[in-house]
Chain A
Amino acid sequence: MTTRQFEPGIVPGRLPAEDYCHAFADTAPPLTDHAARVAADRCYFCYDAPCTTACPSDIDVPLFIRQIATGQPEAAAVTILSQNIFGGMCARVCPTETLCEGACVREVAEGKPVEIGLLQRHATDKLQAAGVHPFTRAERTEFSVAVVGAGPAGLACAHRLAMKGHEVTVYDARLKPGGLNEYGIAAYKAPGGFAHKEVAWLLQIGGITVLENWQLGRNGTLEDLLEEHDAVFLGMGLSGVNALSIPGAEYATPATDYIAALRQAEDLSTLPVGRRVVVIGGGMTAVDAAVQAKLLGAETSTIVYRRSQPEMPASLHEQDHAQTHGVQIVPNATPVAIYKEEGGLVVEFARTATRDGKMTVLEDTIRIEADQVFTAIGQTLGATPEGLTITGGKIAIDARGRTGLAKVWAGGDCATGGEDLTVTASAEGRDAAEDIHAFLMGA
């Protein structure tokens, strides 16, 4: 058996072909029925439960866990999905340690929260495995709504609107619906084509038409949509990325592009990866890129973050995940230049110090050799229609999801409010749909 594990440069097939499947297997395997019952029995059914308060989509966690405990996981799934139609994906990708599980009173009591994420997955998996779509559409209305972006925000909005009886057309720039669920999150968090299956399941509600390869600005304008539909929801996410402005920046590539390519690769052994990988950044995308590079067979994979490690946007759980997969985290180093030298790239970093939240750049430098350099230093809003108010690089919305423009709502990563999480996007899409429905029916 020959592999190219230690070959210099950026090459595919660093692992034996049969190892890819194992490397990208489910990072948190599902609970067995027995394990789910044991885990469910640990819930105290708290009053005004902190887990629910901590959930951006307000899932009634104690109720759904009680439904699992009493032998009705499918009913538990309905409780979850009524609040968050992406309950299945959220069970896999939510940073539960900072949300529901972080707030669990058993975390306070024992340092071991109820396994809410895994229980949510147990319930939603059961329902999807049964091929059941538990929601039905209300009587048809005369209204149609355009949704821009088939990510969690757009599809959550579309689903809720379809449920209310409206006709929905979802316009998406990519070739497949799903948004970051399909193109962005790490492969091992939702293996087995889960993102695709979840969207197909969601669309079973009916009344939703998805138009792929349709980009706002390129294939039509907001005015076109407003002319054709009674309301518009913008949920197109963040299509741009922040770029380095240092000498040699052209040698680095956005981590999001690499992750998207990885997610869409038919055969991971054909995906080239560097022997030495450097990821510049400190968030979830940086972790996902660095870990996946390692899983593809990179000999070293290093995350370099400009501030101190406790300041990393990636949660402690994610940092642990990276480090236990052999990723090295180098904090307090900010990139200065990337050089192309014989045998590969060299990234030069200036050391930094952070005190009281203020970062100062020191004179000391370090040089890290690399074959492949990724940037994961934030995503940005792409071109947006005129007339929208942009605040802090995002479309400004009010609590109901309304933009400054009449009949135009927005939500998800492209809009203000909440963290850039699947669960937040899903909740914002849902809430905007409720407001659109109220607007249409009141009109």
Chain B
Amino acid sequence: MANLASEFIGIKSPNPFWLASAPPTDKEYNVRRAYEAGWGGVVWKTLGMDGPPVVNVSGPRYGVIHGPDRTLLGLNNIELITDRPLEVNLREIKTVKRDYPDRALVVSLMVPCDEESWKFILKQVEDTGADGVELNFGCPHGMAERGMGSAVGQVPEYIEMVTRWVKQHSRMPCIVKLTPNITDIRKPAEAALRGGADAVSLINTINSITSVDLDIFAPEPTIDGMGTHGGYCGPAVKPIALNMVAEIARNPETRNLPISGIGGVTTWRDAAEFMALGASNVQVCTAVMTYGFRIVEEMIAGLSAFMDQKGFTSTSELVGLAVPKVTDWQYLNLNYTTKAVIEQADCIKCGRCHVVCEDTSHQAIAMAEDRTVTVKEEECVACNLCVDVCPTACITMKEIAVGEMDARTGRPVGTHLNWTEHPNNPTGSGAACAKAPAE
């Protein structure tokens, strides 16, 4: 079994699987259960100002998107930061950290944008012996209306300012948690870096309305007949999170900024994907809110087995392996050609590949009287839709080698040619040429 021991901005944990700041990490009872179950670290649910505690709604806090058989695909919430008194949280954090010295314990924070508030809370957290702080610049509901959470995260200048205060008034490692509710994730990440952040974590939840009650015509979750947008998370947001992680990892300005990956991580495979795109560790919430803490056992065993199989001895060897493969569209090889291939022995003749290609794509899959489906290579543009909708995964894409005939174009497959070099690109290097330059 590969050793999963992980070090993230100086914080050690036995594995790279942390629980994100969220309902599962709101109190000692849950956090102890999480550590006992095997979680490597915990980001304690966001603490706010001292004084009267935050008040949550007393009706439904979560909305949901289901897949077949009520598989939970996406969850949204309108819960605020912790609604327990500050001193209770601080006391519990101290006790738990004392009892689990080998586990990471980071404390999430959200206080108003004034230096004194941050200075005060940082001192309190430092006294608990916690390993670090995570600045919650992400929550998109409730707190944002009060000038905190994503209201800060959407203004790079604020991010930089607060991060600088935090680094100034604390010796603790500082992670800045980013909101995805922006147009270019690189800007807040760069601001965090300028402010002195040791790392960023992303993504926080996405503005969302999960559904509408069609009897009372109100958004869900519905509170006394009304609804508001919540923060969306779970497997459905993973593709968005992966892209944002990759954007930061390949951005020259932020490429060395450590990343904690968050967004729909449910299995070891999800974790490995985040890490391959540049995350040093991952944080999990929705998956444990769906299945309970025990899923970490599968994640630990799965990542270990994967690392053994690949010959990795440390998780750091995996981090960022896919980053060099992320590029802009214009650099993709436009001459690269594949064709769909159907493994007839595994085909159950449902006809889905045929109908989606026929109705919505390129009319490249024929269906015979006996329901046998065959690829018309002369029509196939290799869009992959058939692969995506096949229930038995019996369709794959076969590469046509350079020089071999492409039945669709009637020409041999050419050598590497991207858009910047393409003759059809009016601003490209190949614009003057009648055809692709010979190599």
Contact = CB atoms under 8 A, between A and B. Distances in A.
Tell me if chain B binds chain A: yes
Interface of A: 37-38, 41-42, 44-50, 105-106, 108-109
Contacts of A37: 69-70
A44 B349 CA distance: 11
Contacts of A38: 69
Nearest to A45: B352
16 contacts: A41-B68, A41-B69, A42-B68, A46-B351, A47-B351, A47-B352, A47-B354, A47-B355, A47-B367, A48-B351, A50-B349, A50-B371, A105-B391, A106-B348, A108-B349, A109-B392
Q: Which 6 A-B pairs have the closest CB atoms?
A: A47-B351, A47-B355, A41-B68, A105-B348, A46-B350, A108-B348
- Which of B70, B348, B367, B391 lies at the interface centre, i.e. has the most chain A CB atoms within 10 A of its CB? B348
A49 B355 CA distance: 11
B352 to A, nearest CB: 6
Given A41-B68, A42-B68, A109-B391, 11 more contacts: A37-B69, A41-B69, A44-B391, A46-B350, A47-B355, A48-B355, A48-B371, A49-B351, A105-B349, A105-B350, A108-B348
B352 A44 contact: yes
Contacts of A109: 348, 391-392
B360 to A, nearest CB: 12
A393 to B, nearest CB: 33
Contacts of A45: 352
Interface in B373-413: 391-392
Contacts, number: 36
Interface residues of B, number: 14
B366 to A, nearest CB: 12
A362 B350 CA distance: 48
B126 to A, nearest CB: 51
Contacts of B355: 47-48
B358 to A, nearest CB: 8
Contacts of B351: 46-49
Interface string B340-351: 000000001111
Contacts of A41: 68-69
A32 to B, nearest CB: 14
A49 B70 CA distance: 25
Contacts of A105: 348-350, 391
B350 A47 contact: yes
A46 B69 contact: no
A43 to B, nearest CB: 9
Contacts of B367: 47-48
A37 B71 CA distance: 12
A187 B131 CA distance: 72
Contacts of B70: 37
A37 B367 CA distance: 30
Contacts of A106: 348
A38 B70 CA distance: 8
A49 B354 CA distance: 12
A242 to B, nearest CB: 38
- Which of A38, A45, A105 lies at the interface centre, i.e. has the most chain B CB atoms within 10 A of its CB? A105
Nearest to A41: B68
A338 B153 CA distance: 93
Nearest to A62: B350
Contacts of A48: 351, 355, 367, 371
A44 B350 CA distance: 7
Contacts of B348: 105-106, 108-109
Contacts of B68: 41-42
B283 to A, nearest CB: 31
Contacts of A50: 349, 371
A113 to B, nearest CB: 11
Interface string B222-262: 00000000000000000000000000000000000000000
Interface string B44-73: 000000000000000000000000111000
A50 B351 CA distance: 10
Interface string B165-205: 00000000000000000000000000000000000000000
